[in-house]
Amino acid sequence: MTNEEAIQQVCLEPLAIMDVPPVECVDLAAAAGFRWMSLWVQSPRADYEVTCKIEPGATARLVAERLEAHDIRVRNLEVFRVELGTEISAFAPALELGARLGASSATAILRDDSPQILDKFVALCQLAAQFDLRINIEFLSYFGVRSLPQALGLALSARQPNAGVLLDLLHLVRSGATMDEVARVDPALIGHAQICDGPAVMRDEDRLRESATDRMLPGTGDFPVREFVGCLPPVALGLEIPRDSRAFEGLAPGARVKRLMRATRQLFGQAPDGHSPTI
């Protein structure tokens, strides 16, 4: 993916605005110049709720209206955590809601790479297919499926046409994956990508904290962001920076989103207003 393609694919991920009501999230994305965004429709566990989560009914209808008014399209749905005891059919309402809002994919986080989890993943893919959704496995460097080979192995073993992987640059770096490995992945398997930045080294015990609460803006750390993007097909490029990150310290939600877009435009050679800089 070229720099020009990348800037057209940037997608606002929910982590930056998890403390914002869903309708306002759409307005903030539009004000910052986003054309794409992902939505939070499913909590990873019953006791984990966030302000930005979209509920069926009036809230969903208002979100749909704001998306249409701002001409913003939905790319991905967060987040479907699959464990051995997960009842896959319980995900149907959230998948249906996300599909009605225009999403084309959803993220699955798998507890392990056992045959039993593979069966659950296959069932999730088959359920999602009813709503024309792709399911992308996101591996985390500190939990469950922890590496690119594991995620790819599960996606291929599922033998489902809508199975793929989500590549998050943070977890690629922290798991020790190389950009050569990324470049060798079948482009058809890559359904979504996420970028951020960070220091070259992070202690193992700090990986969860970094992932959930303290990533850096693209272009401000040591990650090979441009090289990573250059290895990708033209897929959605999610900007995955948590609201608690030091890069956003002291900023209101709208200012966070604008800073994120501005840093990304600069990284890919565009002026803050979205135009190519004059040489």
Domains and CATH numbers, the chain: 3-267 (3.20.20.150)
Match 């291929």 to its residue by tokens: 156
Per-residue burial over 151-188, b = 16 or more CB atoms within 10 Å of its CB, e = otherwise = bbebbeebebebbbbbbbbbbbbbbebeeeebeebeee
What is the per-residue pLDDT for 235?
Answer: 96
What is the per-residue pLDDT for 49?
Answer: 83
Mean pLDDT of 68-93: 97
pLDDT band, residue 274 (cuts 50/70/90): low
Q: Please, which contacts does 201-209 make with residues 24 or more away whose CB atoms are closer than 8 Å? A: 202/174, 204/142, 207/141, 207/142, 207/174, 208/142, 208/143
Judge whether residue 224 has pLDDT over 90: yes
What is the per-residue pLDDT for 87?
Answer: 97
| Percent with pLDDT over 90 in the chain | 93
Mean pLDDT of 105-125: 96
- Residue 216, beta-bridge partner list: 197
Judge whether residue 228 has pLDDT over 70: yes
Mean pLDDT of 134-155: 96
β-strand 163-168 against 237-239: which pairing, if any? unpaired
Least confident of 34-48, 133-147, 211-225: 34-48
What is the per-residue pLDDT for 238?
Answer: 98
- The better pLDDT of the pair 58, 270 is held by 58
Structure tokens at 149: 């080979």
What is the per-residue pLDDT for 272?
Answer: 59
Query: Of 59, 53, 58, 62, which Cα lies nearest the Cα of 19?
Result: 53
Judge whether residue 278 has pLDDT over 60: no
Tell me the whole-structure pTM to 2 decimals. 0.94
Q: What is the mean pLDDT of the chain?
A: 94
What is the per-residue pLDDT for 279?
Answer: 25
What is the per-residue pLDDT for 48?
Answer: 81
Judge whether residue 276 has pLDDT over 50: no
What is the per-residue pLDDT for 271?
Answer: 58
Structure tokens at 114: 């056992």
Mean pLDDT of 271-278: 49
Judge whether residue 275 has pLDDT over 90: no
Mean pLDDT of 13-38: 97
